[in-house]
Amino acid sequence: GLGFNIVGGTDQQYIANDSSIYVSRIKKDGAAYLDGRLQEGDKILAINGKDLKDLRHKDAVELFRNAGHYVSLKIQRRLQPQNGPAGHRGDGESGGLPLAAILVPGLALAATAVWILLRYRQRM
């Protein structure tokens, strides 16, 4: 296979009022994973030049199954939100460091610097 799962279609809308086909999961060590360009959440607009608009889910699956050895996908990249994680990644990992992992050490360092400065001034 191509190494990824899809969701969507006219009969199984993944997003309300949107019958597009989306990548739901990329299988580790599969073709898409090894290629590295496709991402979970990407909208697939066409496969081998065939438009995926207004297809039922099973018809889209059939197009992928019969795509052949050389596959060309036209995709639309999922937009990343400006403040917050990209969404559930499904692998148990978050999209980045929690804010506390950055603020706590920074505040501790600042407090230590103030304490050293005050101690230094008292000795003068």
Instruction: Tell me which of 13-22, 26-35, 104-113 is least confident.
Output: 104-113
Predicted confidence at residue 98, as pLDDT, reads 60
- The whole-angstrom separation of Cα 3 and Cα 122 is 66
Residue 93 has pLDDT above 90, yes or no: no
Of 50 and 123, the one with more pLDDT = 50
**Cβ count near 55 (within 10 Å):** 20
Instruction: Give me the chain's average pLDDT, please.
Output: 81
Which two structure tokens, joined as six digits, stand for 86? 């990209």
Q: Tell me the domain boundaries of the chain.
A: 4-76
Which two structure tokens, joined as six digits, stand for 34? 């090894």
Single out the residue of 69, 67, 52 nearest to residue 9, CA to CA: 52
39 CB-near residues (< 8 Å, 6+ apart): 23, 26, 77, 78
Per-residue pLDDT of 40-51, as tens digits, reads: 999 999 999 999
Cβ 18 vs Cβ 34: under 8 Å? no
Predicted confidence at residue 66, as pLDDT, reads 92
Domain 4-76 falls in which CATH fold? Pdz3 Domain (2.30.42)
